[in-house]
Structure 1
Amino acid sequence: MKMQVCVLHEGRTLTGGEELLDKPGIKWIDVLAPSEEGLMKLAERYSLHRLAVEDCLHLDQRPKLEEYPNHQFIVLQGFTAAKDICDLTLQEHHFFLGPDWLISVHEFPFDAHDEIRRRVENDPKGTIERGADFILYLLADVLIDKQFPILDSFNDELEDLEVAIFEQAEKQHLQRIFELKRMLVTFRRVLSPQRDVVGLMSRRGIPNIQEKTTLYFRDVYDHLVRLYEQIDSGRDILGNVMDGYLSMVANKTNDITKQLTIFATIFLPLSFIVGFFGQNFNEIQRTDFYYAMWVMILVIPIGLIVWFRHKRWI
């Protein structure tokens, strides 16, 4: 377990390890890859509830806000994406919020935490001096804002996919549509319940959250609403892309069927002619019929093609 501690002590921001836990002042303790032993030490020091500590050791919780006697336990989630936007990594973050301390717990490294830490170090009066709840706002805000680039990349790929389908529909396009659909369902399932959690933190009267900080959580709530709207919009566009793919495949099938039907129509009278003139005739009749047969073989297909073009069937 790796622990990073930021403490506002005597007007200065200190960063380091566990030795800073005994310093007075507002504390932010960031725990990466938590271990049971390390969390139990923190639980003993800050009187963390055992149920909340157990949740931190099993990172498969739903977004939630739970109140305990001396702290709040908050679970927020987000995603980071690889080069392929469908290759998502779930970032589940647990927070213990006390009167003058905040403990953040997460399994995987998150670059945004380093950004917040540098901001705290460079501007303590504008960050940690405003309270532990304001640090929670910064962490929640950056976790939610990291989702916008993923959805923007999703929309860009969806537009490219739509153009490619209307140019030439391929089987791999259908596979990609279902991959994007699964990705969007996962996004919606994770982000939807967070609106209720952040909505609670944006209301007055939540212990350990100052009234002035609730205004900032309203901004995070607005971002979640925007994300949800983008997800709904992406789902509608994805449905249209799916319909476009099916329409293109159906049009291609109809075009093939039309071409085969035209070939069959052209060769049907030729089969009749060949069969008819293949009968036994006397010498005189055979010569006349021989020339008549070739005239009909040439005239009928040409006439059919001209008629088809006149009807705009080909």
Structure 2
Amino acid sequence: MLWILMPRPKVHEYVNCIFLSIKMLQQDEHTGVISVENLSIILTKSILISFQEKKGDVFEPVRERIRNQKKRIRNYGTDYLLYALLDIVVDNYIYIISTLGERIENLEESLLLDPKQGVLEKINGYKRELNFLRKNINPAKEMILNLSKMESEFIEDRNHVHYKELQDNINQAIETSESYREILSDQLNIYHTTISTKLNDIMKFLTVFSVIFIPLTFIAGIYGTNFEVVP
């Protein structure tokens, strides 16, 4: 996982444009490493300018829609194009959380069958990854909420419904991350409970062992003493 300090997502309306920035997450399909970069966008009535920190094809579906002359993305203005870009960003949030969620759910079987130290390390590792995702996604919710409530000449009334949909999607991402956070807490409790149960079983065995052999040790100790007359 790549940890980078970046500006908080924000949106500002100026006289001739709207400026916004949001954190964009991408996951490497081979290594599973999550990278984060800052996406900045300038929106005017007729122009949309986006700034990425590195080259990538995350917005290729939007480019493909433009190349295929899709009516809505061609005719609904730059504010709809802004929605399409942000929708890709939020969809990536949901995809990455879902991928992590699958690994968290698959951990439950190992937790019940063989709760070794490695399982605890995985739980703690997933907690760190999830906290990293939540740290980057939660501020984006506030930015999207402000954008959807914004009464601006740069956003047409007919496109407000799409921004409401975007708000629902970011809420879904946050709610999903919260549910997996609770699952990890439950798994951690199950791990400690299972380990405690195994420790209690070991103590029971040692207690039974002691009950059998301590009297024999006591007797051997007595008869190992030098007596003039053996009792």
Structure 1 length normalisation: TM-score? Answer: 0.66
Q: What's the secondary structure of 1:193's corresponding residue?
A: helix
Residue 230 of structure 1, CA deviation: 0.6
Q: What's the secondary structure of 2:19's corresponding residue?
A: strand
Percent of matched pairs sharing the same residue: 28
- After superposition, the C-alpha distances for 1:191-210 in whole angstroms (9 at most, x for unaligned) are 11222221222235223111
The residue aligned with 1:125 is 71
Q: Which runs of 5+ in 1 are unaligned?
A: 1-58, 290-314
2:143 corresponds to 1:194: no
Residue 109 of structure 1, CA deviation: 3.2
* 2-structure distance, mates of 1:207, 1:179: 46
* 1-structure distance, mates of 2:65, 2:225: 98
Residue 251 of structure 1, CA deviation: 1.7
Map 1:130-141 → 2, pairs under 5 A: 130-141=76-87
The residue aligned with 1:167 is 113
Root-mean-square deviation (Å): 2.3
Bigger RCO (CA 8 Å, 6+ sep): 2
- After superposition, the C-alpha distances for 1:274-308 in whole angstroms (9 at most, x for unaligned) are 234445689xx98xx9xxxxxxxxxxxxxxxxxxx
The residue aligned with 2:151 is 205
* Distance of aligned partners of 1:204 and 1:273 in 2 relative to their CA distance in 1, 3 Å threshold: closer
Partners of 2:93 and 2:137 within 8 A in 1: no
Counterpart selection for 1:152 from 98, 106, 126 = 98
* 1-structure distance, mates of 2:153, 2:132: 32
The residue aligned with 2:38 is 92
- After superposition, the C-alpha distances for 1:91-110 in whole angstroms (9 at most, x for unaligned) are 32110001100001111333
Length, aligned pairs only:
227
Counterpart selection for 2:9 from 63, 74, 80 = 63
Counterpart selection for 1:79 from 2, 5, 25 = 25
Q: Return the structure number with greater strand share.
A: 1
Structure 2 length normalisation: TM-score? Answer: 0.89
Partners of 2:23 and 2:39 within 8 A in 1: yes
Q: Who wins on radius of gyration, i.e. which is larger? A: 1
- After superposition, the C-alpha distances for 1:52-89 in whole angstroms (9 at most, x for unaligned) are xxxxxxx822111012221111112231123455x311
Q: Which runs of 5+ in 2 are unaligned?
A: none
The residue aligned with 2:218 is 272
